[in-house]
A = this chain, B = another copy of it.
Amino acid sequence: MEETKSVTDGRHLRSLHTRHKLLEAAKEVFPEEGFHKATISQIIKRAKTGYGTAYVHFTGKDDLLIVLMEDVMTAFYSIAELPFTPASRAEAEELILYQTTAFLRMAESERKMLQVFGEAIGVSASASQKWAEIRERFINRIAQDIAYSQQNGLARTGLDPELVARGWFYSHEMYLWEIVRGEHQAQLDEIAKTLAAIYTGGLYS
């Protein structure tokens, strides 16, 4: 019903087009200027729409960015949701190293946009919340993986999987921000190796 309306209704179509123009403009302006320096005026100018239009389609600058982050989030989730059912300690270690590497590589490939998002997290409550979503999804998944390993006699028991998962994710997240800032490009695999070594050495000793 809504589908039909969306396709036929020329008004809605126009609206969608305007929205799209704004998003495209924002996608350019944000990385160029950074979150704080970017202004609605810059964005509407590039999108060739009126000032108020931006506020019709989005609640503000944060909202515009949040929508742009969806793409990045999708990529993140695909890593978080990788299957983890190792049969041996060696296989567990391999999977963990792979996941760690994938995570850090993503920091590199999505650098520009993550840089903007990192800046926004400090300022905008909604950006901060969006990032918290990504984080919790990762942590939940890691906690599951740890619990699985504990139940199958691969990992040391007696530690709360969620607390371990948090600490584990946090060290990754902070490395992510460093990579985004442009530090450590060359060492990426070395970092992954180190993080995985500490983690597995600790849990699987």
Contact = CB atoms under 8 A, between A and B. Distances in A.
A175 B171 CA distance: 10
B119 A159 contact: no
Contact of A122 (B122, B164, B166, B191): B122
Interface stretch (A13-21, A60-68, A88-96, A193-201): A193-201
Interface in A145-174: 156, 159-160, 163-164, 166-168, 170-171, 173-174
A197 B198 CA distance: 11
Contacts of A160: 190, 194
A36 interface: yes
B205 A201 contact: yes
A160 to B, nearest CB: 6
A8 interface: no
A159 B187 CA distance: 13
Contact of A191 (B163, B175, B187, B190): B163
Interface string A4-40: 0000000000000000000000000000000010000
Contacts of A170: 170-171, 173-175
Interface of A: 36, 118-123, 156, 159-160, 163-164, 166-168, 170-171, 173-175, 178, 187, 190-191, 194-195, 197-203, 205
